[in-house]
């Protein structure tokens, strides 16, 4: 079960706005993950090789803050020899942002998410598990730093720690 907080941490990046030093104007606007690449990124997590992801995920940058909106994101994992697991997540968050000159620093703020997991252990009825977040297990828990490239409708992040942020985003 310890795998779920790590899987959930990869999802969706969340966090309340605090004062911002700089946000590259290219980032301003709404972004959603490239879902095919997001799924591929998830598939690299051991034990999550057969993943399907649906739902709405938005990362929004204003001139002085960042926020996330996750609406009915479903991560369906089904691997041979393991129970099917379906994780559902919804909620919002804000995060402080320093992003300029190709480097970024996002820090966790307040967040409000509902997260549940269904485990199909046999039979038709799943076992339900509520999965609360802590500051360490929430998406971007503990903050995330790294480099980014932004051009037109494409935004890519390379985090200093693997798997803590969706890598490729598309302007909405």
Is residue 89 exposed (0-12), middle (13-18) or buried (19+ Cβ within 10 Å)? buried
The mean pLDDT values, 10 residues at a time, for the chain of 172 residues are 44 37 89 91 79 93 89 90 89 90 89 88 85 71 88 94 82 97
pLDDT at 13: 37
CB of 70 within 8 A of CB of 55? yes
- Partnered with residue 129 across adjacent β-strands are 117
Residue 16, pLDDT score: 34
pLDDT the model gives residue 153: 97
Give pLDDT, residue 15: 33
Residue showing tokens 């095919």: 36
* CA-CA-CA-CA torsion sign (99, 43, 54, 8): negative
**What CA–CA distances, in Å, run from 127 to 8, 55, 69?**
18, 22, 27
Residue carrying the six token digits 């972004």: 31
């Amino acid at each position: 079960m310890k795998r779920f907080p790590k899987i959930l941490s990869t999802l969706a990046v969340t966090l309340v706005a605090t004062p911002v030093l700089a946000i590259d104007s290219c980032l301003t606007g709404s972004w959603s993950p490239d879902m095919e690449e997001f799924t591929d990124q998830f598939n690299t997590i051991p034990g999550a090789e057969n993943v399907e992801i649906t739902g709405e995920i938005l990362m929004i940058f204003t001139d002085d803050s960042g926020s996330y909106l996750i609406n009915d994101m479903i991560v369906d994992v089904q691997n041979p020899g393991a129970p099917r697991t379906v994780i559902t997540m919804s909620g919002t968050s804000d995060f402080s942002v320093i992003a300029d000159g190709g480097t970024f620093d996002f820090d966790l703020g307040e967040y409000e998410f509902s997260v549940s997991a269904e485990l199909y252990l046999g039979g038709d009825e799943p076992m339900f598990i509520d999965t609360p977040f802590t500051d360490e297990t929430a998406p971007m828990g503990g903050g995330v730093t790294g480099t980014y490239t932004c051009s037109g409708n494409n935004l890519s992040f390379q985090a200093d720690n693997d798997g803590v942020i969706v890598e490729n985003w598309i302007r909405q």
